Structure 1
Amino acid sequence: MEWTIEPAQKKDCPHLARLAELASGGMSDFLFLDLVPGKSPAEVMAISYATEGQPHSYENTIVARHNRKVIAMALCYDSKHHGINQEMKDFFPSDRLLHLTDFYEARVEDSLYLSTLAVEPEYQGRSIGQNLIKSLKSKAQDKKLKSLALIVFKDNDKALRLYQKTGFEIVRSVRIDPHRLIPHKGGAYLMQCPLTGLAPFESK
């Protein structure tokens, strides 16, 4: 099977949001459920993806396509944008942001932060995720950033194997307290992948 990796387009936003919801491990439901009357979490995220000039935008997303269909995605941006800003404080209930304080404070400085990596279930196991990460490494180098970084649930064994296989190392634990909408135990890991020839850097 052949696929191509290319920048996402605005028309892809509903598909990107659905993929991101599948990969979020309950985080999208926790943040967006019942936030906008009449709209599902995926519908709210699709609006966010279509908004240009902000981190969680299709502009910062690459996709894998097979026969013009989006089969995988990777959303990333400079790690300096990973955090709770005033716009988020104005939009999300304070208790939801408080619950995720450690998640949003965990980052590796001067890195390209991989916010979402998702592959359609029927296309998994074909090295698509690995190839998306390879493309992100080139993107980070072009931006003169020193590493890639991400946060993954500790009990997501499949994702952990992929990230370790592609050069990521655990930096520290991230506290995410249990919640009925987040069906994961033990919190998460902040991970980084130093780019070739560069030493790991101190995290915040």
Structure 2
Amino acid sequence: MIRQAIPTDAPIIAQLIMLAMGEPLAAKFANNPDPTVAEALFARFAALKGNQYSYENILLYEDGGAVCGMIIAYDGGKLDELRSPFLNYTRSQLDFTGTPEDETGPGEFYIDCLAVFPQYQGKGIAKSLIKALFERATSLGHRTVGLLVSKGNEKARMLYEGLGFEIVGEQGLLGGVHYHLQRKV
């Protein structure tokens, strides 16, 4: 079952964000190599409204009461507005000094993170989440869904291309190089 996330889902959402980002990128935002610091950071913001990692922007896939995966997506035209609370906090409280590149922009409903816990992978959960997101994007008046995939992550790129996404360019993000993919909905 796919459902809207709620604030009390924040701890499990944080684990999934860490899985989607990978510890190196999460550690950059937390400005700390300890994964528990980054996990606490993402749990904090997942429980709050009005930011890119907010429960408001998250759909969860549940099976038998267990959260198996999640997808985070939002209006790319609101990137600065949604990113600001997170960056302001990380800069003032964690001494984060990075400046992330704009990974999306106006005219795109942007998939920020998608993750499925390893024990649930290979069961079509990611595809189900993406398809549910297409419906959400359409209901909100969006015509294009976009995302970034790390170069070298061929499994993810093939998943997205199998769902109709096409590479429209390349994008740097905090030292990594990614494919920018889009799909019309």
Q: Supply the RMSD in Å over aligned alpha carbons.
A: 2.3
Which residue of the other structure, out of 94, 97, 120, is the alignment partner of 1:95?
97
Which residue of the other structure, out of 75, 78, 84, is the alignment partner of 2:75?
78
Deviation, structure 1 residue 82: 2.4
Establish whether residue 191 from structure 1 lines up as the match of residue 178 from structure 2: no
Q: Residues 125, 45 of structure 1: CA spacing in aligned structure 2 closer, same or farther, 3 A cutoff?
A: same
AA aligned opposite 1:31? F
Aligned partners of 1:146, 1:94: CA distance in 2, in Å? 34
Residue 30 of structure 1 aligns with which residue? 28
Gaps of 5+ in 2: none
Q: Tell whether the 8 Å contact from 1:108 to 1:149 is kept in structure 2 after alignment.
A: no
After superposition, give the CA deviation of every residue in 1:90-148 in whole Å (9 maximum; x if it has no partner).
33356311xx33xxx23253221111100010111111100111001011110111111
Residue 68 of structure 1 aligns with which residue? 65
After superposition, give the CA deviation of every residue in 1:165-188 in whole Å (9 maximum; x if it has no partner).
11111111112465xxxxxxx611
Establish whether residue 160 from structure 1 lines up as the match of residue 157 from structure 2: yes
Structure showing greater Rg: 1
TM-score (norm 1): 0.79
1:120-131 to structure 2, matched below 5 A, reads 120-131=117-128
Q: Tell whether the 8 Å contact from 1:78 to 1:113 is kept in structure 2 after alignment.
A: yes
Which residue of the other structure, out of 12, 15, 22, is the alignment partner of 1:15?
12
Q: Which moved more, 1:21-30 or 1:128-137?
A: 21-30
After superposition, give the CA deviation of every residue in 1:48-71 in whole Å (9 maximum; x if it has no partner).
010123332111111011111100
SS class of match (1:126): coil
Residue 111 of structure 1 aligns with which residue? 108
TM-score (norm 2): 0.87
SS class of match (2:51): coil
Q: Tell whether the 8 Å contact from 1:21 to 1:28 is kept in structure 2 after alignment.
A: yes
Aligned partners of 1:19, 1:86: CA distance in 2, in Å? 22
Q: Residues 49, 155 of structure 1: CA spacing in aligned structure 2 closer, same or farther, 3 A cutoff?
A: same
Q: Tell whether the 8 Å contact from 1:108 to 1:192 is kept in structure 2 after alignment.
A: no
Q: Residues 189, 159 of structure 1: CA spacing in aligned structure 2 closer, same or farther, 3 A cutoff?
A: same
Aligned partners of 2:124, 2:167: CA distance in 1, in Å? 22
Aligned partners of 2:118, 2:184: CA distance in 1, in Å? 29
Q: Tell whether the 8 Å contact from 1:111 to 1:140 is kept in structure 2 after alignment.
A: no
Aligned partners of 1:45, 1:89: CA distance in 2, in Å? 12
Aligned partners of 1:176, 1:106: CA distance in 2, in Å? 7
AA aligned opposite 1:126? K
Q: Percent identity?
A: 28
SS class of match (2:98): helix
Gaps of 5+ in 1: 179-185, 196-204
